[in-house]
Amino acid sequence: MITRHDLRHAGLTGLWFMFLTFPLVVIKINPIEHTVHWRWSNMVWIGVVSFLASLTIRLVQGRRRTGENEKQQSLLQTSVRQFDLLRRPAFFRAALITSSVLLISFPLFFSSYQVNILTTALMYVVLGLGLNIVVGMAGLLDLGYVAFYAVGAYTYALLHLHFNLGFWMVLPIGGLLGALFGLLLGFPVLRLRGDYLAIVTLAFGQIVRLILENWSEFSKGPSGIANIARPGLFGLTLSPEATITYLYYLMIGLVGLTVFVVNRLQNSRIGRAWQALREDEIACQAMGIDKTKIKLSAFALGATWAGMAGVFFAAKTTFVNPASFTFIESAIILCIVVLGGMGSIAGVMVGALILILLPEYLRAVADYRMLAFGAILVVMMIVRPQGLIAPKRRTYTLPSTHNPVNSSDVPASDR
């Protein structure tokens, strides 16, 4: 049955198509005679056809909607069961073993260029997991995360330049300095939330970049610092291809360490406190959780991984300058967390691989790759706004008062 709402929607659709196609189907210019021909009949046909097509589609959808509700519900239940299978430990172990084998054997089957790209993607995995602590778990919007990344990179560059320190000695120092700067950022923003927190963290990132760019006596200014040493391997001299492979395996080790630590933090007492802070800050404080310590720990631990990733970045590129630490880097890392699923470790890893590898492999359509990249993000946010792999929320079910639990079903220790 055709309703007034259907007719109005179809009419608006016809008018919209007439407006969009007006320059193409109505106006015809003759450049030789310098005349313009107005083809109004074409616009009428466009309006009629689009009106009828929209009305037909709405009628078909209405009939299908009434007949497919039960079918959709059954399909939804089936998909939920299948998705639950993906969360089983056996499936997780199989996926972990398969992905580990593929990552370890990757340099054996692909070129050094492909290995270098994947190394960069794994570096962003570490950055995404670090920001996931601040944004995904604690719910603190940080738009200046790239500042801690820059701190780690310049820590290695400056210590190698002035004191000739190596990669392995500077790596923990970069993490500690990143945590220190995280605390310096955390203290002024303890009472800020939402947009105000985002503005302050954004300003912090810009301040760090401008200091590095203008304090030439300290950071060598826009020219940057070059000839940074790569990580050593027992004093051996490696070829360029072997160096790329060595950096790749080091990055795999750092990713594994990051995943292990972040997973343990997420399931620990402090991780549950972060989640409580994310859900409701006032209720979190009312439950006796020290809001100051929880926020500072989130900023410090998140910045630690950014500092170590910065040290690795300096060792990988052997050159750093302030142009590598702009706001767009913070935006990309934040997109990784949001696209993968805030609070989800596996989701952040998948999101980092997609956002970093996709633009590289779309170079064949260089004129349109950023357009395709943006369109994919928009579609993803519309279709699945919770992210690719949404974190599973823990639920606790209490026995109903109307259906009391049998004492035989309760463990002996709880009777």
How far is residue 204's CA from residue 174's CA, in Å, rounded to a whole number? Answer: 18
CB contact at 8 A, 177 and 307: yes
3-state secondary structure of 29: strand
pTM: 0.74
Q: For 181-216, give the secondary structure using H, E and C.
A: HHHHHHCCCCCCCHHHHHHHHHHHHHHHHHHHHHCH
DSSP 159: H
Identify the residue whose tokens are 């995360």.
145
Mean pLDDT of 38-59: 81
What pLDDT, on a 0 to 100 scale, did the predictor assign at position 369? 65
CA distances from 281 to 140, 158, 217, 269, 302 (A): 11, 40, 43, 16, 19
Quickly count: other Cβ atoms within 10 Å of residue 122's Cβ: 25
Quickly count: other Cβ atoms within 10 Å of residue 31's Cβ: 6
Query: According to DSSP H, which parts of 26-68 are helical?
Result: 40-67
* Model pLDDT for residues 366-390, shown as the tens digit of each residue: 666 666 677 777 777 777 778 888 7
3-state secondary structure of 37: strand
Question: How many percent of the chain have pLDDT more than 70?
Answer: 84
Q: Which of 310, 309, 279 is nearest to 294 (CA)?
A: 279
How far is residue 92's CA from residue 99's CA, in Å, rounded to a whole number? Answer: 11
Mean pLDDT of 344-349: 88
What pLDDT, on a 0 to 100 scale, did the predictor assign at position 23? 75
* Model pLDDT for residues 142-166, shown as the tens digit of each residue: 899 999 999 999 999 999 988 888 8
Residue 24 above 50 pLDDT? yes
What's at 307, amino acid-wise?
G
Position 69 confidence tier, pLDDT thresholds 50, 70, 90: low
How far is residue 310's CA from residue 328's CA, in Å, rounded to a whole number? Answer: 16
Quickly count: other Cβ atoms within 10 Å of residue 190's Cβ: 12
Q: Which residues contact 246 (CB under 8 A, 6 or more apart)?
A: 231, 233, 238
Residue 248 above 80 pLDDT? yes
What pLDDT, on a 0 to 100 scale, did the predictor assign at position 66? 62
What pLDDT, on a 0 to 100 scale, did the predictor assign at position 394? 62
Among 45-59, 196-210, 267-281, 398-412, which stretch is predicted with the lowest mean pLDDT? 398-412
* Model pLDDT for residues 157-208, shown as the tens digit of each residue: 999 988 888 899 999 999 999 999 999 988 888 888 878 888 999 999 999 9
Residue 111 above 70 pLDDT? yes
Kindly list the domain boundaries of the chain, sorted by start residue: 4-65, 106-383
Position 287 confidence tier, pLDDT thresholds 50, 70, 90: confident
Question: How many percent of the chain have pLDDT more than 90?
Answer: 28
What pLDDT, on a 0 to 100 scale, did the predictor assign at position 415? 46
Residue 408 above 50 pLDDT? no
What pLDDT, on a 0 to 100 scale, did the predictor assign at position 55? 80
Q: Which residues contact 223 (CB under 8 A, 6 or more apart)?
A: 321
How far is residue 389's CA from residue 344's CA, in Å, rounded to a whole number? Answer: 7
319 is written with which tokens? Answer: 């050159």
How far is residue 27's CA from residue 40's CA, in Å, rounded to a whole number? Answer: 9
CB contact at 8 A, 179 and 300: yes
How far is residue 312's CA from residue 326's CA, in Å, rounded to a whole number? Answer: 18
* Model pLDDT for residues 299-335, shown as the tens digit of each residue: 999 999 999 999 999 999 999 999 989 988 998 899 8
Residue 76 above 70 pLDDT? no
How far is residue 176's CA from residue 170's CA, in Å, rounded to a whole number? Answer: 10
What pLDDT, on a 0 to 100 scale, did the predictor assign at position 104? 85
What is the average pLDDT score of the chain?
A: 82
Position 393 confidence tier, pLDDT thresholds 50, 70, 90: low
Residue 215 above 60 pLDDT? yes
Q: Which of 264, 144, 255 is nearest to 192 (CA)?
A: 144
How far is residue 143's CA from residue 197's CA, in Å, rounded to a whole number? Answer: 9
